[in-house]
Structure 1
Amino acid sequence: MDAFFASVEVLDRPEVRGKPAVVAHDSPRSVVTSATYEARALGIRSAMPLTNAKRLVPNVIVLEPHFEKYRHYSRLVMKVFNDFTPLVEQLSIDEAFLDVSGAIKIFGTPEQIAAQIKQRVFEETGLPCSVGVASTKFVAKLASTKSKPNGLLIVPEEDTLKFLHPLPIDALWGVGKKTAEVLNKRGLHTVSDVAHSPEQSLIAALGQAAGSHLYALAWARDPRPVNSEKADKSIGKEHTFNEDVTDIEKLKATLLFQADHVGAQLRKAQLEARTIGLKVTFSDLESLTRSRTLPEATSVGREIHKIVCELLDDLRIGGRAVRLIGVRSAGLVEAGGQQLSLWEDETDPWKDAEIVIDQVDQKFGPASVRPASLLRKIEPTRESGTPG
């Protein structure tokens, strides 16, 4: 969908159509949730502080968000998709992959199916969408992005590399600003440059997982099928202490154990989380929950741990005795479907390290490798993994 939240709001505010507008709570600490294409043309982006957006475009129109409305229109859109094929993999509230190979005899060529989908979505919701058609999920997503707004782009299988190779390297999933800088320093500026580099050279520059991932994508190798099964809504881990705990450091050590577990489960399921949550139950059985939605999804345990520790600090529990503590990840999306900003901060070394730990645990059993900080700071307790 094109600027989904903003497009939905404009349905009820037709006077806003064609003007720079953002979806956000109109408050000093708010961030932009969505922006019209007119606002984007002036430099406004999602996750930008609203104060910055107003400074950039003083006359920008601020539209209050209505999330139930977005869920309603999402259901209408997904119903249209399911009328064409049962093989629909919903990535988020406003995006999905469709395998239409079985629908060609009924609805026509892939291009005709794509055009029909666009028409049906607009007729039944009034909303524009962009469609990319290709032989792999990666290239189809890339084609849909290239066709925005309100576009349709077909990439025939035999023309895949002709389409892909001239593109800049940041077209590849996983290439953010820092990764692009590393590759640019090696003289790599296009997807073709990456494809024609030795794979081991990419691995040396970026690590095993990232190097192999980018090399495969540069040759349009993406064997993943469209998966219509519903993914877990959340993955979490809770920890009940044998005796109530007041030591903040012990609580944070427990959170590290749980965050590492949640990260490993996300990677095993090939998912990433957009929202990280903390649950604390005190000795009097009062429970508090806090969560944070991230600009970009993650499956890195250390990033999850950093966030839940910040949430714990924000609670200011002041020595209250804690009976249970837990970490939850939600807003799950398919891994690798976005730029990995985690490569650009202090969690850089951890992504590959945690993948190696996954491999060791698979070979020698769970917790074969664990942080030294956990050796004495957590106890055998009643724990529960909580996929939702």
Structure 2
Amino acid sequence: MPRLIMHVDLDAFYAAVEQRDRPEWRGRPVVVGAAPGGRGVVATCSYEARRYGVHSAMPIAVAARRLPPETVYVRPDMARYARVSREIMTVLQTLSPVVEPVSIDEAYLDCTGLQRLIGPPEAIGRRAKAVIREAVGLTASVGLGPNRLIAKLASDSHKPDGLTVVPAGQVQAFLDPMPLAVLRGVGVKTAPRLERLGLHSVGDIRRLPLETLRRQLGARAGTAVHQQARGIADDRVYPARERQSISKETTFGTDVTDPEVLRETLRWAAQEVGYVARQEGRAGSVVTLKVRLHPFETHTRSGTLRAATADDRMLFRTAWALLQAEHWLGRRAVRLIGVGLSGWHSEPEQGDLFADSGVIPEGSDADRLHETLDAIRDKFGKGMIQRGMARPPS
């Protein structure tokens, strides 16, 4: 039986949760992220805000200049979004037993065989959208296809509240007109190189000999792009995979050189990673900084702590120190930045990167403070209380 993979992507998730819970905000531009006048960025925004050219990772100062006075600005409430996400993943498991959450607002499902129970792929997609709407009152864009690549591109093709099915026999007709950028491995550095060869669409790539692509992109990347252009990709869903790391990253709409914007973005990412780690009862000793420089030059740097932690401040300080140690800061334009935590230990130990011992015993004031802050966030929302972080030395 042909594989049928579904990709579910919640529409403007954070902003949609805010509009759901505050009906007076519906129909208005809503920005989730930093407040105007600060140096932070947009985490996400409603579709009403996107009409003004605002998007995720845009510096808040730029967004505020574009948006009208009636715009609502709200700080992220990760505890509430995580609760809604868990409800969504639970209800999706009533549709298929094979669900793989890949982020807080998207998941893959293996729907192979569900045609016998529910009907054709369109009916399965409608059912998924309906159970999400009934459970949490939100819309999702859904794509179905023979593998993960096609399902993801299908869900992206009609947003918001879209439903796109790409049968196996129509994969090439679906892919061929798409721009080069939809293929992984074709970025701002490689796309111009291919365009100089007269290649502007996936169909153009598909018709190019493999050896030509390998010469232009290298053996590994050229082969991968060649396969994607033919719709060849992984068709498995991995529901039981052990999480190897927790990470949060964002791509800036406009390349950033301002150290303050990078610092605030790292702080935001560290807060999200730390919260998720604590909710899952995890503590890690390896902090990873990911930076993508203009045009498409990606670097990772890792630091190993003396003790495992899930402390936001420790993650932020370590990632910021890793960034400061490089020559990029203030000199190279940054397209993407993120923080990851891995190297799991069974028992969290709140360490201090700069302390002699590196360990704060379990049950300490720091442990109790984390528990208290997380409990307040879970009950009342993140916006009710937020711990400040000391400004690191320049």
Query: 2:161 aligns to what SS in structure 1?
Result: coil
1:221 maps onto 2:246 in alignment: no
CA contact (8 A) 2:32 2:45 kept: yes
Q: Which residue of 1 aligns with 2:27?
A: 18
Query: 1:177 aligns to what SS in structure 2?
Result: coil
Question: Following superposition of structure 1 onto structure 2, how do residues 146-295 of structure 1 map, counting pairs within 5 Å?
Answer: 146-234=157-245, 278=303, 280-281=305-306, 289-291=314-316
Query: 1:22 aligns to what SS in structure 2?
Result: strand
Question: Following superposition of structure 1 onto structure 2, how do residues 48-67 of structure 1 map, counting pairs within 5 Å?
Answer: 48-59=58-69, 60-67=71-78
Q: Which residue of 2 aligns with 1:97?
A: 108
**CA–CA distance in structure 2, aligned partners of residues 308 and 217 of structure 1:** 38
Q: Could you list the per-position Cα deviations for residues 293-329 of structure 1 after superposition, in whole angstroms to 9, with x for gaps in the alignment? A: xxxxxxxxxxxx997622669xxxxxxxxxxxxxx83
Query: 1:86 aligns to what SS in structure 2?
Result: coil
% identity of equivalent residues: 37
**CA–CA distance in structure 2, aligned partners of residues 330 and 186 of structure 1:** 41
Query: 2:314 aligns to what SS in structure 1?
Result: strand
**CA–CA distance in structure 2, aligned partners of residues 2 and 84 of structure 1:** 20
Task: Give the TM-score normalised by the residue count of structure 2.
Answer: 0.62
**CA–CA distance in structure 1, aligned partners of residues 188 and 320 of structure 2:** 22
Task: Give the TM-score normalised by the residue count of structure 1.
Answer: 0.63
Q: Specify the code of the residue in structure 1 equivalent to 2:148.
A: K
**CA–CA distance in structure 1, aligned partners of residues 204 and 221 of structure 2:** 16
Query: 2:143 aligns to what SS in structure 1?
Result: strand
Greater RCO, 1 or 2 (C-alpha within 8 Å, sep 6+): 2
1:310 maps onto 2:323 in alignment: yes
CA contact (8 A) 1:134 1:157 kept: yes
Query: 1:23 aligns to what SS in structure 2?
Result: strand
Query: 1:192 aligns to what SS in structure 2?
Result: helix
**CA–CA distance in structure 2, aligned partners of residues 22 and 274 of structure 1:** 30
Change in 2 beyond 3 A, CA 1:3/1:275:
farther
Q: CA deviation at 1:233?
A: 4.2
**CA–CA distance in structure 2, aligned partners of residues 306 and 69 of structure 1:** 26
Q: Specify the code of the residue in structure 2 equivalent to 1:290.
A: L
Q: CA deviation at 1:212?
A: 1.2
RMSD: 3.1
Q: Specify the code of the residue in structure 2 equivalent to 1:310.
A: L
Q: Could you list the per-position Cα deviations for residues 195-232 of structure 1 after superposition, in whole angstroms to 9, with x for gaps in the alignment? A: 11112222222222221111100000113411112332
Question: Following superposition of structure 1 onto structure 2, how do residues 113-132 of structure 1 map, counting pairs within 5 Å?
Answer: 113-132=124-143
**CA–CA distance in structure 2, aligned partners of residues 331 and 145 of structure 1:** 30
Q: Which residue of 1 aligns with 2:11?
A: 2
Query: 1:290 aligns to what SS in structure 2?
Result: helix
Q: CA deviation at 1:64?
A: 1.7
**CA–CA distance in structure 1, aligned partners of residues 119 and 102 of structure 2:** 25
Query: 1:98 aligns to what SS in structure 2?
Result: strand
**CA–CA distance in structure 1, aligned partners of residues 186 and 55 of structure 2:** 18
**CA–CA distance in structure 1, aligned partners of residues 180 and 130 of structure 2:** 33
Q: Specify the code of the residue in structure 2 equivalent to 1:21.
A: V
**CA–CA distance in structure 1, aligned partners of residues 303 and 316 of structure 2:** 6
**CA–CA distance in structure 2, aligned partners of residues 274 and 78 of structure 1:** 32
The 10-residue stretch of structure 1 (101-110 or 130-139) with the greater mean CA deviation from structure 2: 101-110
CA contact (8 A) 1:290 1:311 kept: no
Query: 2:184 aligns to what SS in structure 1?
Result: coil
Q: Which residue of 2 aligns with 1:79?
A: 90
Change in 2 beyond 3 A, CA 1:127/1:133:
same
Aligned residues: 269
Segments of structure 1 that go 5 or more residues without pairing to the other structure are: 237-260, 264-272, 293-304, 314-327, 333-388
Query: 2:102 aligns to what SS in structure 1?
Result: strand
CA contact (8 A) 1:277 1:291 kept: no
Q: Specify the code of the residue in structure 1 equivalent to 2:173.
A: K
Change in 2 beyond 3 A, CA 1:281/1:223:
closer
Change in 2 beyond 3 A, CA 1:118/1:274:
farther
Change in 2 beyond 3 A, CA 1:212/1:95:
same
Segments of structure 2 that go 5 or more residues without pairing to the other structure are: 1-9, 248-285, 289-297, 327-338, 344-394
1:33 maps onto 2:47 in alignment: no
Q: Specify the code of the residue in structure 2 equivalent to 1:145.
A: D
Q: Specify the code of the residue in structure 1 equivalent to 2:316.
A: S
**CA–CA distance in structure 1, aligned partners of residues 299 and 72 of structure 2:** 27
Q: Specify the code of the residue in structure 2 equivalent to 1:15.
A: E
CA contact (8 A) 2:302 2:322 kept: no
Moved over 4 A (4+): 273-282, 305-308
Change in 2 beyond 3 A, CA 1:307/1:210:
farther
1:43 maps onto 2:68 in alignment: no
Query: 2:340 aligns to what SS in structure 1?
Result: strand
**CA–CA distance in structure 1, aligned partners of residues 246 and 155 of structure 2:** 30
